[in-house]
Amino acid sequence: MPNITRREFATAALVLVPSLRAAARLNPAKAKSIDEVLSAGIQRRSIPAVTAVVADRNNITYQGAFGKRDGASGVDVKGDSIFAIASMTKAITAAAALQLVEQGKVALNGPVSKYLPELANAQVLDGYDAAGKPRLRAPKTPITLKHLLTHTSGFCYDNWSDEMQRWKKATGQTIPLGVVGPMVPLMFDPGTRWQYGYSMDWAGKLVEAVSGQTLEQYFQKNILQPLGMNDTSFVLAADKFDRKVSVYGRQNGSPLKEVPRAMPDPPKAFNGGGGLYSTASDYIKFTQMILRHGRGAHGDQILRSKTVAMMSANQTGMLAAGRLKTESPDLSSDVDLHPGADDRYSLGFLLNPTAYAAGRSAGSLAWAGIYNTFYWIDPKRDVCAVIMMQFLPFVDKEAVGLLGDFEHAVYAA
């Protein structure tokens, strides 16, 4: 991370003040309590900015934004402030792929190599020889779209896989930034484990191959524009840059340091695993669509009710999901968002079979982005919520602390 001076950091910390409060359908006292949790929380935890939205299937019930867009300008964050949402892209990719399943263009359980021929050559890492050279073999089961959507394909991110780290060290290979769906070995046979990884990259490539459109084009036409998600895109328009929130990072537990704001270059390729920019008020529309069993606010049928039911059900059987041991502490802490519980994975979401204490119900759906953006969807209680911060490492204790405080305040209200 680029260095900033101690004085610049102190200045950033001093400007953590409320910038927006807009609530509906909660009584003022309860809305104020959520405001207080967020505004006091970012000051106590030295988090530069946060925006949050809560809704039921039809109405926004709370919206708030606190802190500053960056450390120098004094510009408040607002409800339409733009964040890099990273892996919150994945659920939208899952929805896109399942639209193609609904249309009969893709088989959920058939070999995905039918649409992506290069995956016919995927190989499984099967140990190392006496010289330390990796041994590779054909997978016992072909990779299917279901494997990709449930992160059981065998593709693993090296950030959370010691096996991938060992393979990289043994081969001297690196995975360049910006590569979509790198052809790396599978760390296990498809369907035998859950491990977070490049699966959604490949699901996005499948959407492009089958639809004949780029992922940006497909998303806009079939999901984002029908839902009115007008600030969600892989490409940050120049006239929206003023609303983009700064990214921060910490190393070895040090104070957060700001990455200077700069207009991002358009991506050379669109990645189903991450890359979207969005706002909390935009993304809540996607989560509301799930609560409405696939319908948008104006009646657009984004997904069939039967498809949403599959996305809301355990699709990994007894395979536990959601826990990750970090191999890159500056990018992510160890991930365990539901301590003491064995969560599962659906077609695109983490699913908790048991309720969170003082929070979301059993059977809720959730995931996150690496810059500490989070959402959950609670069909039983008809509640969905989005909270966005913008710093590394992922699941930093302060980010998880604010997420938990926010969730408790939502259900208390």
- Supply the Cα-derived Rg of the chain in whole angstroms: 21
Confidence check: pLDDT of 177 > 90 = no
Of 19, 39, 81, 87, the active-site residue reads 87
Sequence-distant (≥ 6) Cβ neighbours of residue 386 within 8 angstroms: 52, 53, 280, 283, 284, 287, 373, 374, 375
Q: Are 169 and 280 found together in one domain?
A: no
Is 217 inside any structural domain?
A: no
CATH number for the domain harbouring residue 384: 3.40.710.10
> Which of 183, 211, 239 lies at the terminal end of a domain, its last residue?
211
- 397 in catalytic set: no
CA 72/CA 15 separation, integer angstroms? 9
Task: Identify the domain containing residue 138 by its residue range.
Answer: 98-211
Same domain, 53 and 103: no
CA–CA distance, 204 with 182 (Å, rounded to integer): 13
Q: Tens digit of pLDDT for each residue in 258-293? A: 999 999 999 999 999 999 999 999 999 999 999 999
Residues 263 and 388 in one domain: yes
Same structural domain, 55 and 173: no
Tell me how far CA of residue 266 lies from CA of 72, 236, 237, 241, 258, in angstroms: 25, 7, 9, 13, 22
Catalytic residue among 68, 90, 146, 205: 90
345 is catalytic: no
pLDDT in tens, 47-77: 999 999 999 999 999 999 999 999 999 999 9
- pLDDT greater than 50 at residue 12: no
Angle at 235 between CA 229 and CA 237, to 5 degrees: 85
**pLDDT tens-digit profile of 223-248?**
999 999 999 999 999 999 999 999 99
Q: Within this chain, do residues 204 and 231 fall inside the same structural domain, yes or no?
A: no
Torsion sign across C-alpha atoms 162, 166, 171, 173: positive
Which residue among 196, 248, 277, 375 is the active-site one?
Answer: 196
Residue with tokens 């990072």: 249
Same domain, 239 and 159: no
* Contact by Cβ (8 Å): 261, 3: no
In eight-state DSSP terms, residue 266 is P
* Domain count along the chain: 2
On whether both 59 and 200 belong to a single domain, the answer is no
Residue range 97-118, pLDDT digits in tens: 999 999 999 999 999 999 999 9
Question: Is 90 designated active site?
Answer: yes
One domain for residues 277 and 311: yes
pLDDT tens-digit series, residues 148-166: 999 999 999 999 999 999 9
- The pLDDT-based confidence of 15 (bands split at 50, 70, 90) is very low
Residues 62 and 124 in one domain: no
Q: Kindly state whether residue 299 falls inside one of the protein's structural domains.
A: yes
79 falls within a domain = yes
SS3 111: strand
User: Does residue 218 form part of some domain?
Assistant: no
